[in-house]
Chain A
Amino acid sequence: DVKVTQSSRYLVKRTGEKVFLECVQDMDHENMFWYRQDPGLGLRLIYFSYDVKMKEKGDIPEGYSVSREKKERFSLILESASTNQTSMYLCASSYFSLPAETQYFGPGTRLLVL
């Protein structure tokens, strides 16, 4: 079974803090993704990575950065958290091969920025 884990289920941070969200997958997947999910807006892709040290911007990268130093680990960094970054953050991973790079998701991190 594919396992994607995220470091925290719930986080409360203050405006201006630097926030690290960690994601680890145990299936040797090449691709990893960070999304945020908000009511009425659905899933929005922040960043993805298709190899170690490689990263690509998604649809909403502003205010975020990522790091992938090891194949199994993909970190999302909020350099200076703001209240509009309060959201559910979801990490996903997939193989670089058929079928269709179907993505497997972690349980999510609910981040509240005060």
Chain B
Amino acid sequence: QKEVEQDPGPLSVPEGAIVSLNCTYSNSAFQYFMWYRQYSRKGPELLMYTYSSGNKEDGRFTAQVDKSSKYISLFIRDSQPSDSATYLCAMNSLEGGYSGAGSYQLTFGKGTKLSVIP
């Protein structure tokens, strides 16, 4: 079983729709959860990060973590064509403590490709 599962899509929605992107994971030690956005032929850019369970909102974006279900989500409200990109989830367990070499690594999902149609 892979540590992080993410539906690759592609996901195609009309402009203005609410988009829901999801990842499931198996390692209960994961505590930090991130979403990256990657435009075509560019490097990923950090969109949001959350710690432990709960919601975090930033403009049209909401990140949600449900540790009991090992499930994280990214919601995009009023989606725009400029949101068309691949979205990658990432997580970190800090196993070994802050000084452990493993604490620096992130485990990534494979990404979901989103297209927002005008």
Contact = CB atoms under 8 A, between A and B. Distances in A.
Contacts of B42: 107-108
A99 B43 contact: no
Contacts of B19: none
Contact of B111 (A33, A42, A104, A108): A42
Interface of A: 4, 31, 33, 40-43, 45, 48, 50, 56, 58, 90, 92, 94, 96-97, 99-108, 110
Contacts of A40: 8, 110
Contacts of A102: 32, 34, 46, 49
Contacts of B98: 96-97
A40 B41 CA distance: 15
> In the complex, which range does the number of interface residues on chain B fall in?
20 to 34
A31 B49 contact: no
27 contacts: A4-B43, A31-B104, A40-B8, A42-B88, A42-B108, A43-B44, A45-B105, A48-B104, A50-B104, A90-B43, A94-B104, A96-B98, A96-B104, A97-B98, A100-B51, A100-B94, A101-B106, A102-B32, A103-B46, A104-B46, A105-B36, A105-B43, A105-B45, A106-B43, A108-B41, A108-B43, A110-B41
Contacts of A43: 44, 88, 108
Nearest to A94: B104
Interface string B5-48: 00010000000000000000000000110101000011111100
Interface in B84-102: 88, 90, 92, 94, 98, 101
A99 B51 contact: yes
Contacts of B104: 31, 33, 48, 50, 94, 96, 101
A106 B42 CA distance: 8
Shortest 4 CB-CB contacts between residues of A and residues of B: A100-B32, A42-B110, A105-B43, A43-B108
B109 A48 contact: no
Contacts of A92: 43
A94 B36 CA distance: 14
Contacts of A48: 104-105
B43 A101 contact: no
